Amino acid sequence: MTILDGKALAAKIKEQTAKTTAELASQGKRQPCLAVVLVGEDPASQIYVRNKHNDCVTTGIKSLMHTLPADTKQEDLLSLIDSLNADDGVDGILVQLPLPKHLDEKTVTERISASKDVDAFSAYNVGKITLGRGGFKPCTPAGIMRLLEEYNIEIAGKECVVVGRSNIVGKPMALLLLAAGGTVTVCHTKTADLAYHTRRADILIAAAGRADLIKGDMVKEGAVIVDVGMNRKDGKLCGDVNFEECAAKASYITPVPGGVGPMTRAMLLENTLTAYTNK
Ligand code: GUN
């Protein structure tokens, strides 16, 4: 069994990003810039945003933080996005989700210019992925694809089972695996017999957001197991996969933490560089 070491690969990608931004600086060019908008005080979001900011700082990407109060009016948030869209010094824009209940996520994410939508949450970018026409790829699925590539894990012809159908992970993950030639099944809360599907998986992506959902007897001998879960259980961070039980059967498996999470952050930096280069 081999651990899919997202932390190590993300460090390599960050090193490469830092090298690229250092070259730009030595040529007297403008720094790439990511604007991050956080509305409210959700503690998990505050940690995510701080991590993204620190990643930018350590890799030479300018980080513009906008922290807004929880009672921010939708029109004020939209006008901030408009001004970031119009700012030539800003390459990528990210509005941290979830937003407070009174704000409409759909309207807000759609307001970000497609060319600055480094999260790839807009209908335009999702449409591009669906049609296989390039564009930004959402960071978590893109990070998983990169991790599989790094370990030379073949996707074409493989049974790929995605557990979870969120817009951020499950749906785009299924599309990327499909584009790579996988035979893809998407399972979700209404799936009648989850274990029937997961036991068939050569590549299993667990993105349901439920601690310990995938047990050892639900996976095939030799499967590649990717755990996207970030759950808290008795105060401890754990994924959707029972690591001990599943690692005993897997050929490759991601740990939590240190698997998918760091790759998501690395892909955000890459998408920001892409947005910069596209200008
Ligand atoms: N909330 C949880 N994951 C994400 C993400 O990848 N991007 C944004 N903007 N918000 C999130």
How many CB atoms sit inside 10 A of residue 215's CB? 13
The pLDDT value given to residue 62? 98
For ligand 1, atom 8: residue with the closest CA: 96
- Collapsed DSSP state (helix, strand, coil) of residue 271: helix
Could you tell me if the CB of 139 is within 6 A of ligand 1? yes
49 CA → ligand 1 middle, Å: 9
* Ligand 1, atom nearest to 138 Cα: 6
Residues with Cβ < 8 Å from 9, sequence gap 6 or more? 146, 147, 150, 262, 263, 266
The pLDDT value given to residue 171? 98
How many CB atoms sit inside 10 A of residue 217's CB? 12
Residue 233 token pair: 């259980």
Could you tell me if the CB of 169 is within 6 A of ligand 1? no
Could you tell me if the CB of 109 is within 6 A of ligand 1? no
* Ligand 1, atom nearest to 139 Cα: 6
This prediction's pTM: 0.97
Do the bridges between strand 92-95 and strand 252-253 make them parallel or antiparallel, or are there none, so unpaired? unpaired
139 CA → ligand 1 middle, Å: 9
Whole-number Å distance between alpha carbons of 207 and 167? 11
Q: What is the pLDDT along the chain (279 residues), one digit of tens a residue?
A: 999 999 999 999 999 999 999 999 999 999 999 999 999 999 999 999 999 999 999 999 999 999 999 999 999 999 999 999 999 999 999 999 999 999 999 999 999 999 999 999 999 999 999 999 999 999 999 999 999 999 999 999 999 999 999 999 999 999 999 999 999 999 999 999 999 999 999 999 999 999 999 999 999 999 999 999 999 988 899 999 999 999 999 999 999 999 999 999 999 999 999 999 998
26 CA → ligand 1 middle, Å: 32
For ligand 1, atom 2: residue with the closest CA: 97
Residues marked active site are found at 52, 96, 119
* 127: enclosing H helix or E strand: helix 123-131
How many CB atoms sit inside 10 A of residue 52's CB? 24
